[in-house]
Each structure stands twice: as C-alpha cells, then as structure tokens.
Amino acid sequence: MKTNTNLLNSLPNAVLISAAKQGFKSNLRPLKVDAASFLLETGFNSFVGHESFSQVLSSKLGIVVETKRAEYSPSLEDGTILALVSPTRRLAEGEKWTEQELLSMPVNFFLLTFSI
C-alpha cells in the first residue's frame, strides 16, 4: 500500500483535474468490502463529509469512520479508497434517508492510486 491511505465518498472532477495537471495518471480498480476494511484498519485520513454516510461506512467496514469535510489533493504517495453509494431512488426536495434505507444501500469500493 502507498504511504497515505485516504477514504473518500465521492470523486470530484477537481481531484482528477489536479492529478492530470501534475502529470499523474489515475488508476482505479474495484475492491471487495473486506479488502477495503483491511487497507483502512491501520489508519487513514477521512474525507467523508456527511455524518450519516460516515455511520453507514463504519457499519459496512467494521471500523470507525470520522466525518471530516476537507479538500483532498492527490499525491503519488496516496492509496485512496473510494466508497460510492448506489441509491435505490432519488430523494424529493427536503426528504432525508432513513437509517434503514442508508444501511441497505449498496456501496461499491474502489482503490484509486496515481502514477507518472
């Protein structure tokens, strides 16, 4: 694994643009939940900005995922786990997911690394 392990719940275009401007190539591969948990269990930087999703990830990964709204900047030392949720429906304006709905949503995990 790379030096810095990060956990993100989205991949903003700005991250890929920043990586490209630095001359980095992005490498993305799917991970099973147990592999994601294993890579994160020794410590990681959380970039998960919503408390409810932090709780979902904590439940699915079996580790504590802190809520932290911060900007992520890619580096060659990073091994970043992406946790992307696949909602079963679109929420109406002002509607919120129930805890039951959140926990039942599929989450897909990916390993994102950068190279030159």
Q: What is the pLDDT at residue 64?
A: 94
Query: What's the rounded mean pLDDT across residues 75-88?
Result: 82
pLDDT tens figures, 7-59: 888 777 788 888 888 898 888 899 999 999 999 988 898 998 888 888 889 98
Q: Could you tell me the pTM of the whole model? A: 0.81
State the Cα–Cα distance between residues 97 and 87, nearest whole angstrom.
Answer: 10
Domains and their CATH numbers in the chain: 4-88+95-115 (3.40.50.11170)
Torsion angle in degrees (nearest 10) through CA of 114, 32, 1, 53 = 70
State the Cα–Cα distance between residues 83 and 8, nearest whole angstrom.
Answer: 6
